[in-house]
Amino acid sequence: MATKRSNQIEAEELRQSTPSSTVLQAINPRQPIAAQIYERLRRAITTLSMLPSEALSEKELSLQLGVSRTPVREALIRLADEGLIDILPQRGSFVAPIRLRDVEEAQFIRESLEVAVSRRLAGGCSRRFLTEIKSNLYDQEKAVNTEALDLFLDLDEAFHRSFCEEAGLPKSWRVIQSVKLQMDRVRYLSLPDLGHLRVLLTQHRSIVDAIESGDVEKAGNDMAAHLREVLRTARKLSEQRRDLVEN
Amino acid sequence: MATKRSNQIEAEELRQSTPSSTVLQAINPRQPIAAQIYERLRRAITTLSMLPSEALSEKELSLQLGVSRTPVREALIRLADEGLIDILPQRGSFVAPIRLRDVEEAQFIRESLEVAVSRRLAGGCSRRFLTEIKSNLYDQEKAVNTEALDLFLDLDEAFHRSFCEEAGLPKSWRVIQSVKLQMDRVRYLSLPDLGHLRVLLTQHRSIVDAIESGDVEKAGNDMAAHLREVLRTARKLSEQRRDLVEN
DNA sequence: ATTGACACTCTACCATGGTAGTATGTATTT
DNA sequence: AAATACATACTACCATGGTAGAGTGTCAAT
């Protein structure tokens, strides 16, 4: 039976002979392999560096990454759970199309949860939270001004995550993050619009203001309006990019 | 290498020599094994036939069920994702305690989503749906009158699921079902209270009435009140049963 | 009696070989 | 030429063996 080492050497050779992609980078054998693979594939799919209907085979991925098929398989199962890939038994696994239906439902779930979270925070939150969230807003402005798109997206994610953290709702964030993936793919289709980013930043500020002033209704309404922005662009894109967006 | 057949025979012998439990029943090798095991363990945990801190070992389960460790492992991973078990690497997997924190957050997520679903249905739903849901209510009444507890729980689940189906929100139901597991365990601690079931049935009727009359506010409020019932009993129980409920 | 090292046993994690089922291309029949 | 049976080449799924690390008990040293 081949050892881990020989397996890794094979993979090393393979890596040199094939064109590299974001997925193909050294795996750290010290920490859980399945989680690393999941993370990497998730990123590749949400950033559209892997496109819908592209095939992901257990065997090929395990060879390319220099690991066995077991952790690859576990990563694929998680991705399928989150609707990012479709596993067809005995046929293959494929990146799922961007289904307008799924994006709409993701938006529904996110809105339901984040509106409730915002209302809760408007009902009471810590000084510390308000300080930190304003610091984040400041960073967002810098990112917009320097046109640092990826940075803005990271700050946006941190913005929404910190809401759940402050409210003491970690599982809610996990749900949001999971359905958010469907919306992220749409974002990457339409990203380089700087004016759009300014709109988002304004909305973020409006939400924070409402929370700070304790206006429960406004906090919820502003968050709802904010989250509907993404859906609007998704609907627009579904007309233009029928090659990538389904329904 | 041992074949599937010899493995199954070993398990057959083992099954005769050990005390049976709800988990130990013949696996159907025709359909996905991992899913069957997940379903079975999930049921055992939510119905409290497996209690918190009880150990689940890949090896032991695979022997008892007559399958290999791989599908067992996959089932355990899913259960851990849903917070029903804790996997401690290189130490073991154990049924998670009923954490009041988790129950409260499950309630929060469920309320956020189901209130939004109810409001949407109150804004418009099909005649067919109203007919079916009333038929379900009638069956619920029969179940209460005959004190058929398990039947009532099944009808209750169908009641809530049909809301999501009518609204065209299948993923939302998956999320609800997933967090609902935490609340179901609490229910099984306190179930045999017939009066409580009558309260739930009345609440169900009130929600349906609000939806039928198109009263969006009332539909949402009634659903929220309904879902808070379970949490109330959970809080009560957490005082009495410190052996099973944490926090 | 207390503490330390160390062997032993247990676990989940990963590697890898085997199996059944699906799709596809290729002969063979009509 | 069109349709059908069939071989072939895939796939995901499952079985099983190996490995590193965490817990525990024992025995030696202090």
Cα distance between residue A28 and residue A30, in whole Å: 5
Task: Please list the residue range(s) of chain B that carry CATH number 1.10.10.10.
Answer: 4-96
For all residues of chain A together, what is the average pLDDT?
85
- In this complex, the residue with its CA at the shortest distance from the C1' of nucleotide D15 is B68
Q: Of B25 and A185, which is predicted with more confidence?
A: A185
Q: Who among B109, B115, B168 is closest to A172 (CB)?
A: B109
Share of chain B above pLDDT 70, in %: 87
Q: Of B18 and B139, which is predicted with more confidence?
A: B139
**How high is the pLDDT of residue A169?**
96
Give, rounded to a whole angstrom, the gap between the first and last alpha carbons of chain A.
Answer: 48
Q: Which of A198, A227, A221, A194 is nearest to A209 (CA)?
A: A221
Which residues in chain B are contacts of A89 at CB distance < 8 A? 32
> A240 is written with which tokens?
């233009």
Q: What are phi and psi of A55, to 5 degrees?
A: -85, 145
CATH 1.10.10.10 fits B4-96, yes or no: yes
DSSP H helices, B47-99, are 58-65, 69-81
Cα distance between residue A142 and residue A198, in whole Å: 11
Which residues in chain B are contacts of A169 at CB distance < 8 A? 105, 108
The answer to whether the beta carbon of residue B72 comes closer than 7 angstroms to any atom of strand C is no
pLDDT over threshold 60, residue A163: yes
Q: What is the mean pLDDT of residues A3-7?
A: 34
Q: What is the mean pLDDT of residues A60-82?
A: 89
Q: Of B124 and A217, which is predicted with more confidence?
A: A217
Pairing label, strands B98-99, B245-246: parallel
Q: Give the confidence band of B29 by pLDDT, cuts at 50, 70, 90.
A: low
For all residues of chain B together, what is the average pLDDT?
84
Q: Give the confidence band of A18 by pLDDT, cuts at 50, 70, 90.
A: very low
Q: Tell me which chain A residue has its CA closest to the CA of residue B70.
A: A70
Our measurement of CA A18 to C1' D20, in angstroms, reads: 32
Cα distance between residue A223 and residue B96, in whole Å: 34
Q: Give the confidence band of B23 by pLDDT, cuts at 50, 70, 90.
A: low
SS3 A55: strand
Residue A11 in contact with residue A24, Cβ under 8 Å?
A: no
- Chain centroid, CA A100 distance in Å: 16
Q: Which of A70, A195, A211, A219 is nearest to A229 (CA)?
A: A195
- In this complex, the residue with its CA at the shortest distance from the C1' of nucleotide D9 is A91
Which residues in chain A are contacts of B172 at CB distance < 8 A? 105, 108-109
User: What number of other Cβ atoms are within 10 A of residue A241's Cβ?
Assistant: 13
Q: What is the mean pLDDT of residues B73-85?
A: 90
Q: Give the confidence band of B191 by pLDDT, cuts at 50, 70, 90.
A: low
Q: What is the mean pLDDT of residues B175-189?
A: 91
pLDDT over threshold 90, residue A60: no
DSSP H helices, A146-191, are 149-167, 170-189
> A195 is written with which tokens?
């004016």
Q: Give the confidence band of A150 by pLDDT, cuts at 50, 70, 90.
A: confident
Which residues in chain A are contacts of B169 at CB distance < 8 A? 105, 108
Within chain B, what is the greatest distance between any pair of CA atoms? 66
**How high is the pLDDT of residue A192?**
65
Task: Please list the residue range(s) of chain A that carry CATH number 1.10.10.10.
Answer: 7-96
Q: What is the mean pLDDT of residues A27-33?
A: 75
**Do B169 and A105 count as a contact with CB atoms less than 8 A apart?**
yes
Q: Tell me which chain B residue has its CA closest to the CA of residue A115.
A: B112
Q: Give the confidence band of B233 by pLDDT, cuts at 50, 70, 90.
A: confident
**How high is the pLDDT of residue A221?**
96
**How high is the pLDDT of residue A121?**
96
Interface test with A, best of B73, B82, B87, B109 (most A CBs within 10 A): B109
SS3 A85: strand
Q: Give the confidence band of B3 by pLDDT, cuts at 50, 70, 90.
A: very low
Q: Give the confidence band of A2 by pLDDT, cuts at 50, 70, 90.
A: very low
Q: Give the confidence band of B15 by pLDDT, cuts at 50, 70, 90.
A: very low
Task: Please list the residue range(s) of chain B that carry CATH number 1.20.120.530.
Answer: 99-246
Shortest distance, CA B73 to any CA of chain A (angstroms): 10
Q: What is A99-246's CATH topology?
A: Four Helix Bundle (Hemerythrin (Met), subunit A) (1.20.120)
Q: Of A35 and A19, which is predicted with more confidence?
A: A35
Q: What is A7-96's CATH topology?
A: Arc Repressor Mutant, subunit A (1.10.10)
Q: Of B156 and A89, which is predicted with more confidence?
A: B156
User: pLDDT tens digits for A92-141?
Assistant: 889 999 988 999 999 999 999 999 999 999 998 999 999 999 999 999 99
**Do A115 and B113 count as a contact with CB atoms less than 8 A apart?**
no
Radius of gyration of chain B from its Cα atoms, rounded to whole angstroms: 20
Give ∠ CA B212-B213-B215 in degrees, rounded to 5.
Answer: 110
Q: Give the confidence band of B175 by pLDDT, cuts at 50, 70, 90.
A: very high
